[in-house]
Amino acid sequence: MNSYFESSFSYMHEKNSVTQLMTILEADTLNSIRISALHESTLETLKFIDNLRKQLISYTGGVDENGNYINPKSAEPVREFMITQQNASELKTKIEAYSNLLSEYGLANSQIIVDPTTDPWLSNDPKMKGSTFGSIHFGNSNLVEAITAFDIYSTRIRLMESTTINIILAKKPSNI
C-alpha cells in the first residue's frame, strides 16, 4: 500500500513539475509574442518619424553634395511643413497611439509627448497659454532644431520600449 502512495505521489509530483514547466514555457512564448508585437510597433513608429524627418529635409531644400543641409536656419519652411500641413498633429497622434500601447503592456507612466495642453506643469505656465505640441516644437524651430525634436522623441520611444520589455519579462503567471 505504501508503494502505491509513493508511486502516486511521484507521478503527481512529476505531473505537477511538467505542468509548471509547461506554464513557464507558455508564459515565455506569450512574452515573446508580446515583445515581438511591441517591437514591431516601435519600429513602425520610428520609421514614421524617420520618414517625416526625410520629408522635412527635402521640403526645406535638401542637402548639398557634401551632405550639409541647404537651408538649416530658416524656421518658415519648418513651420509650413509641420504645422500648416498638419504633420505635427499626425506625429503627435502616432506617438500617442504608441504611448497608449505601452500602457496596455503595463507601463505606468507612458507619456512620451511634451504637450502644453495636457502636461500639468506646462498647462499652468502662463507663457504656454494657447501653445500646442506643434507650436512648441516646430513653430519657431529651424531645421536643425526640428531634427533634434525628432531625435529626442525617437530616443524616448526606444527607452520606453526597453522599460516595457522589462515589465513584460517580469510578469509571471500567478499559478507558478
Residue 72 included in any domain = yes
Q: How far apart are CA 62 and CA 77, in angstroms?
A: 12
Mean pLDDT to the nearest integer, 20-24: 52
> Is pLDDT larger for residue 111 or for residue 142?
142
Q: How far apart are CA 103 and CA 120, in angstroms?
A: 19
Please tell me the predicted confidence (pLDDT) of residue 37: 92
Residue 176 included in any domain = no
Residue 175 included in any domain = no
DSSP secondary structure letter of residue 82? I
> Is pLDDT larger for residue 15 or for residue 70?
70
Residue 134 included in any domain = yes
Helix (H, G, I), strand (E, B) or coil at 1: coil
Taking only the tens place, the pLDDT of each residue in 132-160 is 889 999 999 999 999 999 999 999 999 99
- Which of 130, 136, 142, 131 is closest to 81 using CA atoms? 142
Q: Would you place residue 93 in the very low, low, confident or very high pLDDT band (cuts 50, 70, 90)?
A: very high
| Residue 32 pLDDT exceeds 90 | no
- Which of 143, 145, 154 is closest to 62 using CA atoms? 143
Q: Would you place residue 4 in the very low, low, confident or very high pLDDT band (cuts 50, 70, 90)?
A: very low
Residue 76 included in any domain = yes
For residue 112, give its domain range.
Answer: 2-170
Please tell me the predicted confidence (pLDDT) of residue 6: 46
**Number of domain units in the chain:** 1
Q: How far apart are CA 93 and CA 91, in angstroms?
A: 5
Residue 43 included in any domain = yes
